[in-house]
Amino acid sequence: MFKKVLIANRGEIAVRVVRACREMGIASAAIYSDADRAALHVSKADEAYPVGPAAARESYLNVAKIIDVAKRCGAEAIHPGYGFLSENAQFARACAGAGIKFIGPPPSAMELMGSKTRARTAMHAAGVPMVPGSARGLSLAEAEEMAAKVGFPVMIKAAAGGGGKGMRLVKAPAELKSSFETAQSEAQRAFNDGEIYLEKFIEDPRHIEIQVLADEHGNVVYLGERECSVQRRHQKVIEEAPSAVVDQDMRQRMGAVAVQATRSAGYTNAGTIEFLVDAQRNFYFLEMNTRLQVEHPVTELVTGLDLVQLQFRIASGEKLPFRQEDIGLRGHAIECRIYAEDPENNFFPSPGKITRLLRPSGPGVREDSGVYQGWTVPLDYDPMLSKLIVHAADRGAAIARMRRALDEYFVGGIKTNLPLFRRILDHPDFVAGRIDTGFLDRLLATPATAVSGANTLADIAAVSAALFAATAPHKNGQNAGARIGVDSRAQASTWKRMARSEGVRKE
């Protein structure tokens, strides 16, 4: 096993990998930009080295600098996390060139799957079911032609894209040009590659993906599926395992296709095959993510495995410690991605200082966080704060548990999307498992309903707001030092005991 691993990432995934290193006795080396000196992953790692200015291109995407740091600090391997350089084949090659193990697939497989167009061709050849569309990059003119052929609506995608960036749904010919250009410029910015292709848009599909693990000795297994249909702007918001619509038979068929795709790509380490599933439960290859997924914890909870630790074992040349038949799924897991964004304001990012952070705990609750109370969320990167994941005996219990966990979660100082999750988890369609990639947009199109008992709650809010104002520490004048009693004994005044017993009587 490696003695030291450099983690070429930041935020919750860097912390996640540091934890895996700590548990395996591997020294962890973090990197940080000038914006991240005080970030959680820096203080949690055994070592930390600066790699440049805040702008990702000059730090977390700075291949030469990162390789240099890895060599200087004696790291034997680099874990790329997700995003940033995790799907960058040149980076993987640079690691190999520097004698450092890249913890992920071989560059060839990354390139094949990294190009959506080449991947489509290869998967098509491997007999993997595909959505009709172009198998290569298109000019605007070609795109218009192809769109006419397969018929609107169509989906425009960046060949180098991922995470919804450089991706646009086009419902009518008139919208094609501006969407094409927006996607192209976004892709150029995000991936430095403006290649765009086009596919028939499947109405209200489910997004279901299969986790695979492949060692470097030819063993490939699948770890069941993840249902990722709750999305906004093609960004996953909630993921769960297993899927409400996948039975054992469908799981085996999807798994077999995923394993076949993995083998045919010469793929190793952890990977994910994403499928679109239509209303008849037909599944079509969407893309392969050649890295650890954000949502890997739901698979960890239902399988009882630690995917990051397995990534280390595979990368260090070990064989998979189990076979397909050893893998069982127990219970149901759900993940919510907590973002610093304002649900009341079109989900715009809401960076800033976290003044309060109350985190859920107790049975079946896991939080993978990249932040802490007092941390100022920088503008410069993806606004995900943490992932809240629950595990329970079945889907109903998991939903109830997630509601409970969300009730315990509080972030002060910045806006987050926490309120959105409560709406989703209370929605009858979600509870019934009737979800597809259009579910969240439909939900957001309907106004949030007022809560029952809102009047009492509003009264309490009003009184509390006054109390906070009256006891604010910075407050001057005659209220200075006004405090709400904290000594509980001092609270047991006569009139309050009276009020309480009245309360009891009123029950």
Partner 1 sequence: MIYEVTIAEKTYRVELVRTGEQWTCKLDGREFPLDVVSLQAGDLSLLLDGKSYEVKQENAGPEAAVVVGQERFAVAVRDPRSFRSRRRAGGDERGPRKITAPMPGKVVRLLAEVGAHVEAGQSVIVIEAMKMQNELKAPKTGVVKKINVAKGAAVEAGQSLAEVE
Positions marked catalytic: 291
Residue 82 interacting with partner 1 (CB under 8 A): no
Q: Which stretch binds its own copies (CB under 8 A): 17-25, 261-269, 336-344, 466-474?
A: 17-25
| Residue 411 in tokens | 């972030």
Q: Which stretch binds partner 1 (CB under 8 A): 43-51, 139-147, 207-215, 392-400?
A: 43-51
Selection from partner 1, its own copies, none that 152 binds (CB < 5 to 8 A by kind) is: none
Residue 144 CB, shortest distance to partner 1, in Å, is: 21
Residue 55 interacting with its own copies (CB under 8 A): no
Residue ranges in 371-430 that form contacts with partner 1 under rule CB under 8 A: 372-375, 379-383, 406-407, 410, 412-415, 419, 422
Q: Backbone phi, then psi, for 347, in 5-degree steps?
A: 60, 30
| Residue 31 in tokens | 């990197």
Instruction: Candidates 64, 432, 445, 490: give the one binding partner 1 (CB under 8 A).
Output: 490
Asked if 336 and 388 count as a contact pair (C-beta separation under 8 A), the reply is yes
Asked if 106 and 216 count as a contact pair (C-beta separation under 8 A), the reply is no
Q: Is 226 helix (H, G, I), strand (E, B) or coil?
A: strand
Nearest CA among 7, 43, 8, 15 for reference residue 368: 15
d(CA 329, CA 38): 39
Nearest to partner 1 of 85, 257 (CB atom): 85
Q: Cα 178 from chain centroid? A: 28
Instruction: Candidates 87, 239, 368, 382: give the one binding its own copies (CB under 8 A).
Output: 368
CA distances from residue 347 to 132, 315, 350 in whole angstroms, order as listed: 32, 38, 8
Residue 488 interacting with its own copies (CB under 8 A): yes
Instruction: Candidates 150, 245, 250, 482: give the one binding partner 1 (CB under 8 A).
Output: 482
Residue 253 interacting with partner 1 (CB under 8 A): no
Q: Is 30 helix (H, G, I), strand (E, B) or coil?
A: strand
Residue 412 interacting with its own copies (CB under 8 A): no
| Residue 117 in tokens | 């167009």
Asked if 258 and 318 count as a contact pair (C-beta separation under 8 A), the reply is no
| Residue 162 in tokens | 């991922």
d(CA 414, CA 283): 40
Residue 305 interacting with its own copies (CB under 8 A): yes
Residues forming the site for its own copies (CB under 8 A) = 15-16, 19-20, 22-25, 32, 34-39, 44, 49-50, 54, 69, 72-74, 297, 300, 304-306, 308-309, 330-331, 359, 361-369, 376, 392-393, 397, 400-401, 403-404, 407-408, 486, 488-489, 491-492, 497, 500, 503-505, 507
